[in-house]
């Protein structure tokens, strides 16, 4: 029987409820897991600054994966690795967003930029360190056209964190690749990982982990890829999962 050691938790739609809160029950069972010797790690599309308050709330000193694997942290504030989008990529992605009139955003080391707060006149995207770019639109045809165009460019990673958005990372960057690297740092195997999530940016990690769990509110493709489907993010799902994993 596999002994699980690392619990990798997506945040939005997974650890967090629809009010972006960690429920008392989820927090309680995370602390029980930590006390029992498990490593509980965020594995999120959020940037570090956005994920950090929740890590501080739980008093986590464990590794973190942020921006879909674009950043791997030994522990909060102690960076292991960052991977940037290549020069020129954000200019092309930004032009696509403008062409299709979508909401867009981009994560840099320096901050978050979006349609309402883009770069100041005269500031070139190439002067920034870009980690991820995103689109959001309810227009299914526009999303597919953007996906098709990006695929024509080559090997960028395309996923999502909700049914209406697209998230673009550098080639080879995903939560799964980050978890593989983290396992190497922690001297463990992916078979010892439990990966939990709800969106397409979780699907590779869910497939590769020893135990892949989809949320009850997950997208259907994620449920199909998972070993198990649990309750929704509004039903203390992380507490439910940890109770079962920690059964004697």
Give the residue numbers annotated as catalytic, written as ranges.
Answer: 10
CA distance 245 to 247: 6
Q: Could you tell me which of 238, 164, 245, 161 has the C-alpha nearest to residue 210?
A: 245
Contact 215, 199 (CB under 8 A): no
Q: At what angle do helices 140-153 and 89-100 cross, to 10 degrees?
A: 160
State the sign of the Cα–Cα–Cα–Cα dihedral 61, 65, 67, 70.
positive
Residue that is written with structure tokens 């020069």 in the block: 87
Residues 108, 128 contacting (CB under 8 angstroms)? yes
């Amino acid at each position: 029987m596999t002994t699980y050691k690392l619990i990798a938790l997506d945040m939005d739609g997974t650890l967090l409820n629809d009010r972006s809160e960690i429920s008392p029950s989820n927090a309680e069972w995370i602390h029980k897991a930590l006390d029992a010797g498990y490593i509980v790690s965020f594995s999120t599309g959020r940037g570090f600054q956005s994920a950090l308050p929740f890590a501080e709330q739980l008093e986590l000193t464990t590794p973190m994966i942020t921006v879909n694997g674009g950043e791997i942290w030994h522990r909060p504030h102690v960076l292991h690795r960052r991977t940037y989008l290549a020069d020129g990529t954000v200019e092309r992605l930004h032009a696509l967003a403008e062409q299709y009139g979508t909401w867009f955003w981009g994560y840099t080391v320096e901050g978050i930029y979006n349609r309402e707060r883009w770069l100041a006149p005269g500031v070139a995207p190439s002067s920034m360190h870009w980690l991820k770019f995103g689109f959001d639109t309810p227009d299914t045809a526009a999303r597919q056209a953007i996906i098709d165009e990006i695929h024509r460019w080559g090997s960028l990673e395309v996923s999502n964190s909700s049914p209406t958005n697209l998230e673009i990372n550098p080639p080879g960057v995903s939560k799964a690749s980050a978890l593989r690297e983290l396992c190497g740092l922690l001297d463990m195997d992916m078979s010892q990982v439990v990966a939990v999530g709800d969106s397409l940016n979780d699907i590779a990690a869910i497939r590769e982990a020893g135990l892949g769990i989809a949320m009850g509110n997950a997208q259907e493709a994620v449920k199909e890829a998972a070993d198990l489907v649990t309750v929704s993010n509004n039903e203390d799902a992380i507490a439910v999962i940890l109770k079962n994993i920690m059964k004697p």
